[in-house]
C-alpha cells in the first residue's frame, strides 16, 4: 500500500464535536486518487460533516486533512483544490447557467472562459440552456449544472453531498449512470455522500458505511454485501435474516444450533469479533435471495448438505420479477425469502408448511453481542453519539 501517491485524500484522526455532541469520532481514512468513493449512512451519522471537513467548510476539532502530501487542514475552502456538488445544488439564483459554471474560473482570474464553459455544457448535455436562470431548469438539469460548475475547475477531488436526493426515482437512476460516466471520463476522485445504499453500491468502487459518527465497515460493494462485519451493515445494505445460534463444533466449518435446528457456516465468513469456539453465541445471517423454498411435502427432494429450517408462510407479496415471502419458523420469526418467478409452485400460499434451504457457503456469522435490529428501517441508525 502506497499512501503517498499524488492525489490521495487522507484523513488522520479527524473528528468534529459540537459542544458535548460528537458528530464524527476520530477517523482514519484514505481515498485513493481516481476512485469513486461513497460515504453511506442514515441522516445524522456524520457523513456530511466528514465531507464538509474535506471541503474546508467545517473546521475539524482534531486531526488533519491531507490532499496528496499537502496538509490543507488550515486552508479556507477557496484555497483548496476541492469542489463540491451541494445538496439541492446551491446554484446562484441571480446568475444564469453560463455564469454559474464560469464562477470558479472567474474567481481565479481566468478571463477567457467561453471555450471551457462550452466544453463543460457539452459534457453535461446542457448546451441549449446556457442562458437560462436556475429556476427555469428542471431538477435533473440543475443537478447537471451543479456538477459542471464544480468540474470545470478540474479539482483534485469532487465532493458530492446527496446530489441525487431531490430527484425522482427514474431520474435518479439515469443520473447515477451519468455521474459514473463523467467520473470515468474525467478521472477525478469522487467522494459521494448518500443515504441510499443502492446508489452507493451502483456507483462506488469503495463504500464506507457510517453509523453514529464512526465508520462501521469499508470495502468494495459486493464485499460489504456478502461479508458484513456488523448487524448494522447487514441490515442497512439490503435485507438480512439474522438467527440467534450457539456454536456446537468449531473448526473451518462451524456447526451451530438454533432452537434445535443444526446449521453450518464457513469460519472464513465470520466477522473477526464473532466467537467461533464451542459454546459461543453468534448470529447466523443469510440474505433472502439465497434461500430456496420447498413445500413440506417435497422435503425429501432437497439435496443433502444444505442448511434447512422448517416454517409456515405468513405472508407473500408478488412484485413481478420475484415473490417475497415472510415465513414464521420456530427457529426465528419473520424470515424473509425472495423467490425468482421462474416456475411458481401454486401450493406456496400463506398458511402452507414449507422448508427453507440454502447453501451453507452463503451463510455469514456475526457477534451476538449487538442489537439484531441495528440499521433496520425504524431503528435509529444513529443512536449513541456522545
What residues line the site for another protein (CB under 8 A)?
1, 3, 12-13, 15, 17, 22, 25-32, 35, 37, 55-57, 59-63, 73, 76-79, 82-84, 86-88, 90-94, 96, 103-104, 107-108, 128-129, 131-133, 136, 149-150, 153, 206, 208, 215, 218-219
Minimum CB–partner distance for residue 192 and another protein (Å): 14
Minimum CB–partner distance for residue 17 and another protein (Å): 7
Nearer to another protein, 2 or 252 (CB): 2
Minimum CB–partner distance for residue 372 and another protein (Å): 24
Nearer to another protein, 162 or 263 (CB): 162
Q: How far, in Å, are 46, 58, 77, 207, 380 from residue 18 at the CA level?
A: 12, 11, 20, 26, 20
- 3-class secondary structure, 361: helix
The CA distance from 105 to 113, in Å, is 7
Nearer to another protein, 299 or 385 (CB): 385
Minimum CB–partner distance for residue 41 and another protein (Å): 14
- 3-class secondary structure, 67: strand
Cell matching residue 51: 465531507
Nearer to another protein, 150 or 337 (CB): 150
Nearer to another protein, 3 or 353 (CB): 3
Nearer to another protein, 55 or 265 (CB): 55
The CA distance from 186 to 323, in Å, is 41
Minimum CB–partner distance for residue 228 and another protein (Å): 15
Cell matching residue 204: 462506488
Show the beta-strand stretches assigned E in the chain.
9-18, 21-31, 36-40, 62-67, 70-71, 82-85, 157-161, 189-194, 206-211, 214-219, 241-249, 253-258, 261-266, 281-286, 292-295, 307-318, 322-328, 335-340, 353-358, 364-367
Nearer to another protein, 150 or 354 (CB): 150
Minimum CB–partner distance for residue 78 and another protein (Å): 5
The CA distance from 4 to 13, in Å, is 17
Closest CA to 187 of 33, 58, 76, 334: 33
Minimum CB–partner distance for residue 96 and another protein (Å): 7
Phi, psi at 79, each rounded to 5°: -110, 10
Cell matching residue 37: 468513493
Nearer to another protein, 24 or 352 (CB): 24
Minimum CB–partner distance for residue 79 and another protein (Å): 8
The CA distance from 229 to 336, in Å, is 20
Amino acid at each position: 500500500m502506497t499512501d503517498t501517491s499524488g492525489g490521495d485524500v487522507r484523513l488522520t484522526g479527524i473528528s468534529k464535536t459540537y459542544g458535548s455532541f460528537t458528530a464524527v469520532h476520530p477517523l482514519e481514512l484514505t481515498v485513493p486518487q481516481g476512485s469513486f468513493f461513497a460515504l453511506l449512512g442514515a441522516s445524522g451519522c456524520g457523513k456530511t460533516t466528514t465531507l464538509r471537513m474535506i471541503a474546508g467548510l467545517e473546521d475539524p476539532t482534531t486531526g488533519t486533512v491531507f490532499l496528496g502530501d499537502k496538509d490543507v487542514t488550515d486552508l479556507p475552502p477557496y484555497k483548496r483544490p476541492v469542489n463540491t456538488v451541494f445538496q439541492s445544488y446551491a446554484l446562484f439564483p441571480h446568475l444564469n447557467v453560463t455564469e454559474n459554471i464560469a464562477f470558479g474560473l472567474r474567481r481565479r482570474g481566468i478571463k477567457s472562459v467561453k471555450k471551457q464553459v462550452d466544453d463543460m455544457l457539452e459534457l453535461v448535455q446542457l448546451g441549449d440552456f446556457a442562458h437560462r436562470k436556475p429556476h427555469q431548469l428542471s431538477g435533473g438539469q440543475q443537478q447537471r449544472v451543479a456538477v459542471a460548475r464544480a468540474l470545470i475547475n478540474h479539482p483534485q477531488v469532487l465532493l458530492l453531498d446527496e446530489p441525487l436526493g431531490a430527484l425522482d426515482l427514474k431520474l435518479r437512476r439515469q443520473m447515477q449512470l451519468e455521474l459514473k460516466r463523467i467520473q470515468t471520463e474525467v478521472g477525478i476522485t469522487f467522494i459521494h455522500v448518500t443515504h441510499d445504499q443502492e446508489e452507493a453500491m451502483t456507483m462506488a468502487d469503495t463504500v464506507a458505511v457510517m453509523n453514529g459518527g464512526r465508520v462501521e465497515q469499508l470495502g468494495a460493494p459486493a464485499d460489504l454485501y456478502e461479508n458484513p462485519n456488523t448487524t448494522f451493515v447487514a441490515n442497512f445494505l439490503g435485507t438480512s435474516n439474522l438467527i440467534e445460534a450457539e456454536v456446537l463444533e468449531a473448526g473451518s466449518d462451524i456447526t451451530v444450533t438454533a432452537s434445535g435446528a443444526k446449521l453450518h457456516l464457513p469460519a472464513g465468513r465470520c466477522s473477526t469479533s464473532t466467537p467461533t469456539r464451542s459454546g459461543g453465541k453468534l448470529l447466523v445471517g443469510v440474505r433472502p435471495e439465497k434461500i430456496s423454498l420447498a413445500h413440506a411435502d417435497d422435503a425429501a427432494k432437497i439435496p443433502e448438505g444444505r442448511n434447512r429450517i422448517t416454517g409456515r408462510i405468513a405472508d407473500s407479496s408478488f412484485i413481478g420479477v420475484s415473490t417475497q415471502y415472510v415465513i414464521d419458523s420456530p427457529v426465528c420469526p419473520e424470515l424473509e425469502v425472495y423467490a425468482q418467478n421462474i416456475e411458481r409452485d401454486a401450493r406456496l400460499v400463506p398458511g402452507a408448511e414449507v422448508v427453507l434451504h440454502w447453501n451453507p457457503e452463503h451463510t455469514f456469522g456475526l457477534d451476538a453481542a449487538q442489537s439484531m435490529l441495528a440499521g433496520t428501517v425504524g431503528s435509529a441508525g444513529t443512536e449513541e453519539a456522545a
